[in-house]
Structure 1
């Protein structure tokens, strides 16, 4: 999918590119760590009759980061799963544009509210310092996965705002009707 952030000034484009690289690094490294962990769990359990100590705790933290960074990347690329049938029934570019504005506006409201809740969740953790809640065995603070949740929602909000700005800037897209392809009769 084309990177629509290229339509913005370098003041927006460059930080967004850095953030995207960070999110992709988190997603890829999380996938590798999870795969290696499960590999070693199987080796330890069935090869040596032992168990990998508290691997669920670090995997849960990594899974939260991976899931919410991947959700932000999906929001950037506009590839979230949806069950949109109405979009296939509309052919008028102006109606398509108004509908896109409505959908993006509703999405922005929802994701902004959830981002605020994510902020409150992290703020609650900060306020309990030094008595942070943590996992039982490895003592990983609950703040670690919660920051991943908040950052994921924050980036979803940012990308929704950018997409909405582009919708307003570009207006309805009018495309010329496509000409039917000529068939080569020499074959």
Structure 2
């Protein structure tokens, strides 16, 4: 499990640096050299999808995504709070499994028109590539939420597993 988290962190970090560099280059080229980085949006969008869904999977694993959970603040008993959190993680996993199903269908739908699969306009990047990242992201989010839910219900802490 530690290797998967390290890979996800590396992907998010690398993509963040790459996209920041691209946007810096775009601004530099546009306002200093008065030229344009032609159609950079096509491949930058693919990298953004990878970063976004790897970040979602990482947040699901580390339980660091944004939540508006008032009930856990009301519960006083640590045992009840642990059970509530574990069940909440399993509900999240069930929802993500459903989203993974639709993401898989979306990804496979790209190949229905083989060999004329849809591509981007300029660089002809298959639209299946970002959709693969969406699918993989939802599957990883579901996996992490399921594992976290089971671990929490068994009495383990999520923080213990993700500490590096």
TM-score higher than 0.5: yes
| Alignment of 1:151 onto 2:136 | yes
2:78 is matched with: 93
Which consecutive residues of structure 1, in runs of 5 or more, have no partner in the other structure?
1-15, 172-187
1:43 aligns with 2:28: yes
The partner residue of 1:135 within 116, 120, 124 is: 120
Give the RMSD, CA atoms, in angstroms.
1.6
Output the CA distance in 1 between the equivalents of 2:38 and 2:26.
Answer: 9
Q: Which structure has the highest helix share of the two?
A: 2
Q: 3-state DSSP class of the match of 1:170?
A: coil
Match of 1:25 in 2: 10
CA distance in 2, matches of 1:147, 1:49: 36
Bigger Cα Rg? 1
Q: Between Structure 1 and Structure 2, how many residues are aligned? A: 156
Q: Give the TM-score, by structure 2 length.
A: 0.88
Higher relative contact order (CA 8 A, sep 6+): 2
Indicate whether 1:63 and 2:42 are aligned: no
Consecutive unaligned residues in structure 2, runs of 5 or more = 157-164
Is the contact made by 2:86 and 2:148 (CA closer than 8 Å) also made in structure 1? no
CA distance, structure 1, for counterparts of residue 152 and residue 14 of structure 2: 34
What TM-score, normalized to structure 1? 0.77
Matches of 2:28 and 2:107 in 1, distance apart?
Answer: 37
